[in-house]
Every structure is written in C-alpha cells, then in structure tokens.
Amino acid sequence: MDGYLSPHYYDLVTPDGHIVDLKRLDNKRRVATVAISGIFPGFVGYEIDPRLVFFNLKSTLAQIGIEGIGREFHLDRKHNRAEVKVELIPYGDIASAMLDLLPVGAYIGKLFAADDRRRVRDPDYLLRMSSRSDQEGRPLLSLGGLEGSRELILEKNNGRTVAFLSLKDGTLSYEPALFGFLPTLAKALRKNLSHTRQLLHLHHHWQAGAPRIVRENEILLVRTAPLHIRTVYARVVNYLLPQGYHHTSACVLQPDTAESGDIYELYGNSLQVIDDLPLEFYTLEPHREHVFFSDRDQLIALLEDPQSLFNAFATAPGPSSVLASVFLVKGTQMLALQESDWIVRASPKHDFPGLIDPSRQALITEKYIENQPQYPFLKAIENGFITSQGILLCRHFPTPLLKRLLLNDLVARCLKRIYFQYPSFSHDGFFFHEDRSMLLDLAKFGIPVYWAEPDEKTLLQFVLRPEKDAGLFVPIPLIETFRKATVLGVYGSNLQEGSFGIELRILLAGLLAMRAEVDHPLLGRDTPLALVTDGGPGAMEVGNRVAKELGILSCANIVDFRARDGAVVKEQLQNRYIDAKMTYRLDRLVERQAEFCLDLPIFVSGGIGLDFEYSLEEVRRKTGSAPANPILLYGSIDYWKRKVSSRFRLNKETGTIAGSEWISNCFYCIQTAAQGLAIYRKFFKNELPIGKKGPVYEDGFYAIASIDQK
C-alpha cells in the first residue's frame, strides 16, 4: 500500500525504457528493442485491453523529426518489466543524422495506458480547475498562465472532453549548429538525463508568419501558448487533425512538468493550414488529482450515511488490536475499499526516557511516529504526493504525537475529516488528556473529527462548547442543539435512585414549558436544553433516561473506573440513555469534573464524589469561572444541613471565606419539582436575590420550604 504514495509512480505510465537491440529495416528506418524495468505493480496497462497500451516516444527525439511506433508489446507482470519493438522513422535530414548516432542503451520512451475508464468525459471536471493553483502557486490547468484557462476551448466530442489549442502564427526550425549538438544529445539519452528538451530548445529558430503546412518526409513543428496541466494527462487526438496530418507518438503531455507542452510535432502531407491542436484527457490516480473535497459529491453523500462508513471500516484487516488507516478522496474509492488498501502497523510498547535524555527521547519518538499507519499518508500530503483533499479513516484515534504533522499547513489544507472507531489503542473507549488536547486543536484548525462507535453503530462528531475549551462527541443531527443548549447537570449517587425520577421529569418538563413565558440569555422560546451526568447507574441513569424521554439532549462525561486487576466497579457500568459523550481515564478525574461546564447544576444525595463536585461548584462561583446561577439540592433539609452546614459555618466563623459568604445564596434545597420551578422562574425573571450583592444564608443554602412558590 505504501508504494503508491511514492512520487516516482503514476499508474498510467511506465518508467523510460532503453534500447537493448537496434536493427536496420532499410536505409532510413530502424527497429529498436526497448526494455523497460521497474514498472509500478499497479500499472493500469496490466489490466486493460493491450490494444489501449501504446509506446510514447521521448519528445526530444520527436522534435528533431523521429517518429517511434510500437509494433510488438510483451508485458511481464510477474517481474514488473516489459519489452517493446519500436519502429523508428526519420523525417528530415536532422532526424536521419540522429538515427545514425542513436546508441544501444539510449532511453527513448515509455508506455502509456489509455484506459477508457480514466478518460475525461465532462468538461466541468476540467473547468472547475480554472484559476486554481497547487500548493506552490502553479496553475492546475491553464493555457499561457494562471488566468489563461479562458483561452482553453473545451468541447464534448464522441463521449470525451476535447480541448482545442490555438496555434501561434509561425513555425519552428533549427539552426545549422544543431548537427554538432547531436552526438552530445545521444550521450545524454544514454544517461537518461533530464532537461534534454530544454537544451534542444537553444537551437530553435522561430519563423514568424511561416505557413503551418505539413510536407511529405518533413517534420512540422508548431507552437501554442504553454499548457499547464497538473491534474490530468493530455493526449493529442490524431483522428481530429486535418486530413493528411499525423502527430508523432510523443503525443502525451504529463502532469509533472510546470509547462507541460507548447511545441508539437506533425508529419504527413497536406496543403491545408492547421489552426489548432485537439487534446483529450485522462485522469490521474484519485489522490493526485488536486480535487477539492467539496467537489466530491458521491463521497460526501456516502459519508452522510453511517452504514457506508461502518461498511468501509469492516474492510480493515484484523484483528482489532492492530493499527490501521486509509486515506480516501472519492466515493468510488470508498465503495471499492479492500483490506489491501489499508496501511497496517503493529504497535509495540516503547520505553520513552523523557527529558532526562532528550536526544534519545527525540529519536524514539520519531521512530514511533513513523510506525503509525497514518504517517505515510500525512507525509505524502506534506511532500506533495497526495494533492486531492480527502478523509482519513483510522481504527484508533491517531496518537497525539502526530499533532505536528496533522496541523501542518499543507496537511490541514488537504485533510478534511478524520474518522475513527476506538479512542485509544491501550484504553479502549477512553481518551487520554493529550487526545482531548489534540481534539481541541483539530477543531480550531477546522478539521472535523468523527467517532464511528462500533458497538452502538452510531456516528458522533466532536463539537466544542461555545466559548469553552471543552467538547463532547455529539450525534450529527443534534449538533446545533448542543451548541445552543442551556446545560443542566445531575450530581449524585450511582447506588441510589430514590423518588428522584418522578420529580426530575416534572422539573424538566416544567422548564421546557417555561421557555414560552420568559426571555433570558439561558432560557427563551428557542432555547434547547441538554443534561449532563457521569453516565453511570443510579441517579445518573435516571437523569439521562428522563432527559432522553423528554427530548432533551442526554450527555455524559464518562470516567474509566476499571480496577487495575481487571475487576469492574459499579461506577463503570454505563447507562444506555446517552446521546453525546466524552470519556476520560481515571488519572484525569479532576479534569473531567472541570469540563462539566454546567449552567444549572442539580444535586441529589451522594457520597465522596458528590462532596468533591459540590466543592468544585462552590469554587467556580467564588472565583468567577461560573456565574451565580441557582444550584438545586434535592432532598430533605436535614440531609443537606448535615452535609453542608457545619463546613460552611466553620469556614465563616474562622474567616477563611471572608468576602465569599454570599456564595450560600446560589444553593437552594428543594423537596419537590414545583419548588425547583419556582426558583428557576424567579431567576429567569431576574427576581431571585443571588450573587455577590445577595444575602448570606447561615446554613450555606436556602431552604425552599419557606419561599413563595408562586
């Protein structure tokens, strides 16, 4: 799989071949046996009708008047080589002189696979490249410059797109000094040196106004404005030339040159002036096409169907313990995805020494990065070998050590989405804190990340909370709900449910109804609601279940509570009523709590975890990191007095919360949903005494039993 990412391979062409035998046919013509080795295993010519494979002569030879016609083709797929019998025909004295000098060993051309499936049929495919450039600012398709595409006439002809290139007024000829250059050219061909055509151009002489008419036994060199093509191969269409005209077999314009062509070689016999050159086009491999993601209608449609994604992931090689990744740029590629298309890597453990030995740390880290299955794709994008925008499918969420590559400017421009199945290779469904940090960075760089959750068969997208450095994985249809929602949260015991469910249902239903009667930044007619828990059983399950039943977005911040010995504690039992979620490893329990970001917390009875959560909500309000919104304490007044009051009074008496005593007016003890709704109604109508200018309650909270509930 890695091989096709090499810059040396295009699948419609072979490398250049060299002459291994050269025989005379007559006093002019020769037959050369050309050997081609090192052919890319994916060369399309192996698969298509052999009659569609032809020999493409080097343009250097064609421009001095030599035609090369492939007569016999022998392709050896097993050894990735080919042998071709090529008839060499000279047109003019210069060509005859060059044939006499042409040595065995000279590289004279390659094979081209004119695959009908790759022929460009719709002009829009090329027109959308107009005025676009590659990462180095070179035009993708133009005649004469970046804006020159306006001069490129594209038509549909016999089921193919044809461009007609207007010819300049005049012809090219050679200075007599060229004869002295031919021996050097012969040596250069034997070494297969590049840029021989540019050296040949030094001997050109432009004859302005000369008639563009082809004469028998002569070569006619004509010129167009420079044609830039980075996205396709172009090929002269011989049957559309005027009668009596033929183009040499050096008729293919490659996409890997800055100016793919401006000189064309014609032979034949005609009195008709030729005015333009017809070209047809063949697409590159999908990843080299410079195509924008927004242009891939089929791929986008497939990605909107979760089942298509799960089908694609099902083609990844097993077992699930190995790392695997693939980069997709078009819908047909996704539909035809096979196991062999994935890059697979083992993931052995590494001992990272840390900053105690920075040189060794850097070396081991670099090796680790290079062993990731995403690395070949990202590196190929960075190096310009992948030019089409696309998506990355990963069995496991990419290691944060790849952040440097993922956020590279060239990669970020090309990588439009990341999909994964498992958050972690080592911790299954739980993200490491550096994973979440990278999720934040990817979101800020505009690279959407999707979790194709394999057990639930659901597709979730990572979405940031507005104005927060925290986010959740949210079902795609609920993303706007999540972004706009006022967030409630339930803190409580995972061991007890009690009667909380009935009251919570009334409370949440009443809050939904209240939207029609208040106009507050946190609640209004169009305000959606979301509810967050820790995703566990007990009161957390009640909260998620009631929210889901009422059509409120049900969310969870889930911690990996699995014991080190493999046992599972009750907190680990996730409930089944969760829409959106984020996961955390146990060592990031405090960080998880900080990312609840609740607008309206609700506490029910609980243990040590609840004590911590209660203290954190106090600290948030004291420090101003959260506004003074009401917090409901559901349960008996006596329970909450024993839970809260002694600590609050001691802190107040000792002066350790001097100036922050007001925080007590943020907490309201309720026993019924009606009481809770009374608090919310007063708050949303700005009638609730709350905040720094509000009263101080000696119990550390206000007991709602004595408040006006109307």
Cα 58 from Cα 61, distance rounded (Å): 6
Q: What are the tokens at 501? A: 């469910």
pLDDT at 587: 76
User: In angstroms, what CA-CA distances link 580 with 76, 88, 421?
Assistant: 55, 69, 15
For domain 123-167+212-284, which CATH number applies: 3.40.50, 1.10.3470, 2.70.40, 1.10.287? Answer: 2.70.40
Average pLDDT rounded to a whole number, residues 664-673: 96
Residue 569 pLDDT > 60: no
Query: What does the pLDDT look like over 145-154, one tens digit per residue?
Result: 555 455 677 8
Average pLDDT rounded to a whole number, residues 506-524: 96
Going by C-beta distance under 8 Å and a sequence separation of 6 or more, which residues neighbour residue 159? 119, 121
pLDDT at 709: 46
| In 77-159, beta strands by DSSP E | 81-90, 107-113, 141-143, 153-157
Query: What does the pLDDT look like over 597-636, one tens digit per residue?
Result: 899 999 998 888 889 899 999 999 999 989 999 999 999 9
What is the four-CA torsion angle of 142, 145, 150, 155, rounded to 10 degrees?
A: -20
> Helices marked H in 130-193 — which ranges?
178-191
Query: What does the pLDDT look like over 414-430, one tens digit per residue?
Result: 999 999 999 987 777 88
Stated as kind and residue range, the H or E segment containing 581 is strand 580-584
Residue 351 pLDDT > 70: no
| Secondary structure class of 195 (helix, strand, coil) | coil
Stated as kind and residue range, the H or E segment containing 666 is none
Cα 221 from Cα 177, distance rounded (Å): 18
Tokens 């030879």 appear where? Answer: 61
Query: What distance separates the 2 farthest-apart alpha carbons in the chain?
Result: 118
Do residues 286 and 330 touch, judged by C-beta distance below 8 A?
Answer: yes
Per-range mean pLDDT, top range of 76-85, 289-298, 358-367: 76-85
- Span of 497-511, 562-576, 639-653 with lowest mean pLDDT: 562-576
Cα 389 from Cα 291, distance rounded (Å): 6
| In 297-375, beta strands by DSSP E | 323-328, 343-345
Cα 461 from Cα 418, distance rounded (Å): 10
Tokens 């790759």 appear where? Answer: 118
In angstroms, the first-to-last Cα distance of the chain is 70
Cα 283 from Cα 141, distance rounded (Å): 13
Residue 259 pLDDT > 60: no
Residue 297 pLDDT > 50: yes
Start-end of CATH 2.70.40 domains in the chain: 123-167+212-284
Residue 560 pLDDT > 80: yes
Start-end of CATH 2.40.30 domains in the chain: 2-117
pLDDT at 707: 46
Cα 107 from Cα 17, distance rounded (Å): 5
Q: Supply the mean pLDDT for the chain.
A: 90
Give the chain's radius of gyration (CA, Å): 36
pLDDT at 151: 61
Average pLDDT rounded to a whole number, residues 510-529: 96
Average pLDDT rounded to a whole number, residues 435-461: 94
Query: What does the pLDDT look like over 579-603, one tens digit per residue?
Result: 999 999 877 777 787 788 899 999 9
pLDDT at 628: 95
pLDDT at 128: 82
Average pLDDT rounded to a whole number, residues 336-344: 93
Stated as kind and residue range, the H or E segment containing 171 is strand 170-174
CATH domain 484-710 topology: Rossmann fold (3.40.50)
CATH domain 2-117 topology: Elongation Factor Tu (Ef-tu); domain 3 (2.40.30)
pTM value is 0.86
Do residues 488 and 654 touch, judged by C-beta distance below 8 A?
Answer: no
Going by C-beta distance under 8 Å and a sequence separation of 6 or more, which residues neighbour residue 278? 157, 162, 163, 164, 165, 236, 237, 240, 241
Confidence class for position 32, pLDDT limits 50, 70, 90: very high
Start-end of CATH 3.40.50.450 domains in the chain: 484-710
- The CATH number of the structural domain formed by 288-464 is 3.40.140
Cα 400 from Cα 352, distance rounded (Å): 15
Confidence class for position 499, pLDDT limits 50, 70, 90: confident
Q: How many C-beta neighbours within 10 Å does residue 592 have?
A: 21
Confidence class for position 194, pLDDT limits 50, 70, 90: confident
pLDDT at 353: 63
Which residues on neighbouring strands pair with residue 70, listed in sequence order? 86
Amino acid identity at 94:
I
Per-range mean pLDDT, top range of 201-205, 263-267, 351-355: 263-267
Start-end of CATH 3.40.140 domains in the chain: 288-464
pLDDT at 466: 86
700 CB-contact burial (10 Å; exposed 0-12 / middle 13-18 / buried 19+): buried
Q: How many C-beta neighbours within 10 Å does residue 336 have?
A: 10
pLDDT at 23: 96
b/e burial code for range 396-412 (CB count within 10 A of at least 16 → b):
bbbbbbbbebbbbebbb
Do residues 160 and 279 touch, judged by C-beta distance below 8 A?
Answer: no
Pick the closest to residue 66 from 91, 84, 32 (CA basis). Answer: 91
Which residues on neighbouring strands pair with residue 529, listed in sequence order? 486
Pick the closest to residue 348 from 324, 325, 323, 379 (CA basis). Answer: 323
Percent of the chain with pLDDT over 70: 92
Tokens 């099902």 appear where? Answer: 314
Confidence class for position 710, pLDDT limits 50, 70, 90: very low
Which residues on neighbouring strands pair with residue 581, listed in sequence order? 473, 556
